[in-house]
C-alpha cells in the first residue's frame, strides 16, 4: 500500500499506520454492518451502464463525455482497473477447496459478494456526493479501458446481471496516434490489443444485442448515440445533435481533477430536448430473472456465450 506522508518530518510512519488502521476498520465495519443485508439485495435495483474501451485510443472518453451530458446520469472515468483485484479474489474464493481441515469453512456467498461489489462501485462512482446524488440518479456506471477480456466481462456480468455495456473499438489499426502521454506503448503491441479486444467486444455484442452496443472510433456519428440513448437506455424526449469529441487525435484532454460538489447542472451543447428518464428501468421481468438465476446456477464457469445458451436478454421499460 502506498501511503502519502505529510511535509512535517518525523511522522510519516505513524501517519501510514493510522491510514491503514482506518482503512481496515472501514472494511470490517462494512462487512459487519452490511453483511446481514447484502445477501438480500436486488442486483437489478440500479440501472448500471459501463463504457468499456477495447484498449486506449478507442474513443471511450468521447462516449463518456456524451452520456455525461444527460441529467440524472452519473458516469465516472477510469480507475486503473481496480475491479480486476475484486475478480481475482472472487475467483479464488469460488474455487477454494474446503475439504482440508486447514481450509474448513462454508462456500462463498456469491450473491452477497455481488451485492458488496455493487456497493463498492456505487461508492466509487458517487464518491463523497453519494448522499446528495443517490436519490436523483437514474443511471450510473463508469468507463474503463482495462476490462475488455472474457474473464473480466464474465465477472461483470455476474456482479451486474442487468447492466448495459457500450464497447468502443478501432476498426482501423494502421496509421493512428499512439504516443500521447499515458499511451507510450510499443505501437505494434497496442495495435495487437486493439484487434484482440475488438474481437471480444464484437463476440459479446453478437450474443447480447439488446443489452450491449459497439462504437467504432473510426465511424462515430450522432445517429449511433441517439440509437443507444433511445433503445439501449430507454431515454425519451431527448436527442443528440452533435458530438463533443475528446482525445480523438492522440491528445489528452485536461479536465478538473475532481468535480465540484456544487455542480447542479451540466452544459449540454450536444443535446436538445427534455430528458424523460424518470421511468428508465433496465430490470428484467420476474420470469426472466428466475430463468436467468436458474441458468447461472447451472453454469460453473462463464465462457464466450453461444447464442443458444444465454437467453437472459433484458427488456427496457420505455420512459413515459
- Residue 212 host element (H or E): strand 212-216
Q: Classify each residue of 196-205 as buried b or exposed e, where b means 16 or more C-beta atoms within 10 Å of its C-beta.
A: ebbebbeebb
In a domain, 145, yes or no: yes
In a domain, 187, yes or no: yes
Question: Would you state the pLDDT for residue 8?
Answer: 37
In a domain, 304, yes or no: no
Return per-residue pLDDT of the chain as tens, 320 residues: 333 323 334 444 444 444 344 344 444 444 444 444 455 799 999 999 999 999 998 999 999 999 999 999 999 999 999 999 999 999 999 999 877 888 889 999 999 999 999 999 999 999 999 999 999 999 999 999 999 999 999 999 999 999 999 999 999 888 666 554 455 567 888 889 999 999 999 999 999 999 999 999 998 999 999 999 999 999 888 899 989 875 555 444 444 445 544 443 344 445 544 444 444 455 544 455 555 555 545 444 433 333 333 323 233 333 33
Q: How many CA atoms lie within 13 A of 19 on its CB side?
A: 12
In a domain, 7, yes or no: no
Question: Would you state the pLDDT for residue 214?
Answer: 98
Check if the beta carbon of residue 172 is closer than 8 Å to that of residue 148: no
Question: Would you state the pLDDT for residue 255?
Answer: 47
CATH code where residue 130 lies:
3.40.50.300
- Residue 52 host element (H or E): strand 48-53
**DSSP state, 228?**
I
Question: Would you state the pLDDT for residue 99?
Answer: 78
Question: Would you state the pLDDT for residue 19?
Answer: 38
In a domain, 18, yes or no: no
Distance CA 157, CA 165 (A): 10
Distance CA 303, CA 301 (A): 6
Range of the domain at 175: 47-248
In a domain, 299, yes or no: no
Question: Would you state the pLDDT for residue 295?
Answer: 52
In a domain, 282, yes or no: no
Question: Would you state the pLDDT for residue 198?
Answer: 97
In a domain, 260, yes or no: no
Domain count, the chain: 1
Question: Would you state the pLDDT for residue 291?
Answer: 56
Amino acid at each position: 500500500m502506498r501511503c502519502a506522508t505529510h511535509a512535517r518530518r518525523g511522522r510519516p510512519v505513524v501517519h501510514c499506520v493510522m491510514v491503514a488502521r482506518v482503512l481496515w476498520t472501514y472494511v470490517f465495519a462494512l462487512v459487519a454492518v452490511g453483511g446481514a443485508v447484502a445477501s438480500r439485495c436486488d442486483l437489478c435495483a440500479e440501472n448500471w451502464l459501463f463504457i468499456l474501451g477495447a484498449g486506449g485510443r478507442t474513443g471511450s472518453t468521447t462516449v463518456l463525455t456524451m452520456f455525461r451530458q444527460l441529467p440524472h446520469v452519473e458516469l465516472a472515468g477510469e480507475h486503473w482497473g481496480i475491479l480486476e483485484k475484486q475478480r481475482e479474489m472472487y475467483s479464488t474464493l469460488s474455487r477454494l477447496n474446503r475439504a482440508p481441515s486447514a481450509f474448513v469453512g462454508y462456500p462463498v456467498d456469491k450473491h452477497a459478494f455481488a451485492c458488496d461489489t455493487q456497493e463498492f462501485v456505487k461508492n466509487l462512482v458517487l464518491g463523497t456526493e453519494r448522499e446528495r446524488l443517490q436519490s436523483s440518479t437514474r443511471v450510473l456506471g463508469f468507463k474503463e479501458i482495462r476490462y475488455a477480456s472474457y474473464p473480466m466481462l464474465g465477472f461483470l456480468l455476474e456482479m451486474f446481471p442487468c447492466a448495459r455495456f457500450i464497447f468502443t473499438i478501432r476498426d482501423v489499426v494502421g496509421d493512428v496516434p499512439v504516443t500521447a502521454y499515458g499511451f507510450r506503448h510499443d505501437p505494434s503491441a497496442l495495435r495487437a490489443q486493439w484487434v484482440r479486444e475488438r474481437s471480444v467486444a464484437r463476440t459479446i455484442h453478437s450474443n447480447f444485442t439488446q443489452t450491449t452496443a459497439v462504437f467504432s472510433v473510426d465511424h462515430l456519428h450522432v445517429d449511433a448515440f441517439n440509437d443507444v440513448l433511445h433503445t439501449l437506455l430507454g431515454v425519451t424526449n431527448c436527442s443528440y445533435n452533435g458530438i463533443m469529441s475528446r482525445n480523438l487525435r492522440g491528445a489528452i484532454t485536461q479536465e478538473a481533477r475532481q468535480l465540484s460538489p456544487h455542480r447542479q447542472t451540466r452544459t449540454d451543447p450536444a443535446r436538445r430536448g427534455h430528458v424523460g428518464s424518470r421511468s428508465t428501468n433496465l430490470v428484467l421481468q420476474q420470469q426472466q430473472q428466475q430463468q436467468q438465476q436458474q441458468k447461472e446456477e447451472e453454469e460453473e464457469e462463464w465462457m464466450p456465450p453461444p447464442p443458444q445458451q444465454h437467453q437472459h436478454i433484458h427488456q427496457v421499460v420505455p420512459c413515459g
